[in-house]
Amino acid sequence: MARGRAYTPAIAAAQKWVTKLHVAAYRATEGKIGGRLMNSPVLLLLTTGRKSGKERTTPLLFLRDGVNYIMVASNGGTAGDPAWWLNLQKDPEAIVEVGGWTLRVRAEEVKGEEKRRLWTRLVEMYPLYESYQQRTDREIPVILLRPVEGGAT
């Protein structure tokens, strides 16, 4: 069995409820409420559910790298990838909301030297990422969201 326990059903249910509240507050205030968490910026990522085909919205910490948005698919150091990353693997096209702005993006996993460079910056921004990596056997992916041409929505 892989290291990094899955969330219990109660924690997963609570997480869904908190996510819905976070998204509602973020959108109602254009990110003035919910736009920062643990002193790090938060965006809303809109993906298409790989099984349901429904729109899914997830608040995520991010780092800017030029025009790109960088996120960590840590899932809190659990054994499995987060649903939003699984959704992006099936359909890499997504939308991000940052404050009152929306932008079409395309996701790709960052590897090698570029991942190491970004991982250092991500851990500086949010030190718990390092403990999440130590908690699990899987290599936690770093995801780059690149704006697509004509991407403003």
CA 89 vs CA 33, 49, 109, 122: distances in Å? 30, 11, 9, 21
Tell me if 86 is assigned to some domain: yes
Residue 69 belongs to what domain range?
9-152
Tell me if 47 is assigned to some domain: yes
For residue 145, how many other CB atoms are within 10 A of its CB?
26
Please write the tens of the pLDDT for every residue from 88-136. 999 999 999 999 999 999 999 999 999 999 999 999 999 999 999 999 9
CATH number, domain of 62, equals: 2.30.110.10
Helix (H, G, I), strand (E, B) or coil at 11: helix
Query: According to the model, what pLDDT value does residue 97 have?
Result: 97
Query: According to the model, what pLDDT value does residue 11 have?
Result: 72
Please write the tens of the pLDDT for every residue from 79-94. 889 999 999 999 999 9
Count of the separate structural domains present in the chain: 1
Tell me if 108 is assigned to some domain: yes
Tell me if 3 is assigned to some domain: no
Euclidean distance between CA atoms 133 and 119, whole angstroms: 11
Please write the tens of the pLDDT for every residue from 35-51. 999 889 999 999 999 99
Tell me if 80 is assigned to some domain: yes
Query: According to the model, what pLDDT value does residue 16 have?
Result: 83
Tell me if 128 is assigned to some domain: yes
